[in-house]
Amino acid sequence: MHKPVLLNETLDLLNVTPGKVYVDCTLGLGGHSLEILKRLDGNGKLIGIEQDETILEQARNKLSKYENCYLFRANFLELPEILKSLKIEKITGGVLLDLGVNSLHFDTAERGFSFKAKGPLDMRMDNRQELTAYKIINNYKEHELADIIYKFGEDRNSRKIAKSIIHNRAKGPIETTEELANIIFSCYHHITNRSHFKIHPATKTFQALRIEVNKELENIEEFFCFIPELLLPPSRLTVISFHSLEDRIAKNFLKNNREFRPITKKPVIPSSEEIKSNPRARSAKLRAAEKIKNESLFKNN
């Protein structure tokens, strides 16, 4: 069963209040949205955005009985246009970003997100886009591959892995997640005892590819550029991240943007009970801030 991460903590920080407008920018299977709708109790609006068609359909089924729920297949960067289409000028309640991919992405071999199951090198959340993991692995130059593996995977073996990818693809295209995982694994041949690995050696490269395919970090940065002006004080911005690269962007934005008052001094993390019942929650970090009025901004000067 699908379990939304840090559910009660997120809803409390969003301060869900009937009558207000909320946006779930990463709808997923609708776990957080369902609870927002329950708390709205028919008053106010919930807008849900999801770029993955299959996942959106599941959320639609889950939320179909709510008339105050508006769902869109889109990238969250399209939020300004979505609000215009609904004739909504400002978000009065709050916004949620529950970043990254869905557990469904990892569990479906044909989507190519997991090195644990054989599938095509795809990794697109939005299957309308052209860039796939296959194109990156088989077309990027060696230094470009090394750069993304280092930057988005934080893997110190990035150069070695990039070299090995180039060497192997000279024999013919690298087609599957399994082939790629084996190529990466072979870069660690000097370590013979598998128990020495804390994580599978392919973990970081697969993370890097996913981030590059879906422009995950660029999207967050761009989103933070326009979201302040869409929020009416005292609405709230909540962000759940799953790795340090995402969290760093959220942390810096929420700390340094003078239009927001941070509500979480330190990130909220899942309890040990939540991690036990949902191991995927283990790396989650939740941060929240409140949009402040312009007058308060001037007072602080």
Ligand X SMILES: C[S@@+](CC[C@H](N)C(=O)[O-])C[C@H]1O[C@@H](n2cnc3c(N)ncnc32)[C@H](O)[C@@H]1O
Task: By CB under 6 A, name the binding residues for ligand X.
Answer: 4, 26, 28-32, 49-52, 55, 75-76, 98, 100-102, 125, 219
- 246 versus 290: smaller Cβ distance to ligand X: 246
Shortest CB 264 distance to ligand X, Å: 18
Shortest CB 233 distance to ligand X, Å: 25
State the amino acid at position 165 in one-letter form: I
Shortest CB 263 distance to ligand X, Å: 19
Shortest CB 56 distance to ligand X, Å: 8
- 22 versus 145: smaller Cβ distance to ligand X: 22
State the amino acid at position 167 in one-letter form: H
Shortest CB 255 distance to ligand X, Å: 23
- Rounded-to-integer distance, Cα 242 and Cα 5, Å: 10
- 92 versus 102: smaller Cβ distance to ligand X: 102
- 32 versus 251: smaller Cβ distance to ligand X: 32
Pair 230, 154: CB distance under 8 Å: no
Shortest CB 110 distance to ligand X, Å: 15
Token readout for 190 is 């000097």
Shortest CB 162 distance to ligand X, Å: 26
Residue by residue, what is the 3-state secondary structure of the chain?
Answer: CCCCCCHHHHHHHHCCCCCCEEEECCCCCCHHHHHHHHHHCCCCEEEEEECCHHHHHHHHHHHCCCCCEEEEECCHHHHHHHHHHCCCCCECCEEEEECCCCHHHHHCHHHCCCCCCCCECCCCCCCCCCCCHHHHHHHCCHHHHHHHHHHHHCCCCHHHHHHHHHHHHCCCCCCEHHHHHHHHHHCCCCCCCHHHCCCCCCHHHHHHHHHHHHCHHHHHHHHHHHHHHHECCCCEEEEEECCHHHHHHHHHHHHHCCCEEECCCCCECCCHHHHHHCHHHCCCEEEEEEECCHHHHHHCC
- 52 versus 155: smaller Cβ distance to ligand X: 52
- 75 versus 132: smaller Cβ distance to ligand X: 75
Shortest CB 135 distance to ligand X, Å: 19
- 84 versus 156: smaller Cβ distance to ligand X: 84
- 21 versus 71: smaller Cβ distance to ligand X: 71
Token readout for 159 is 């150069």
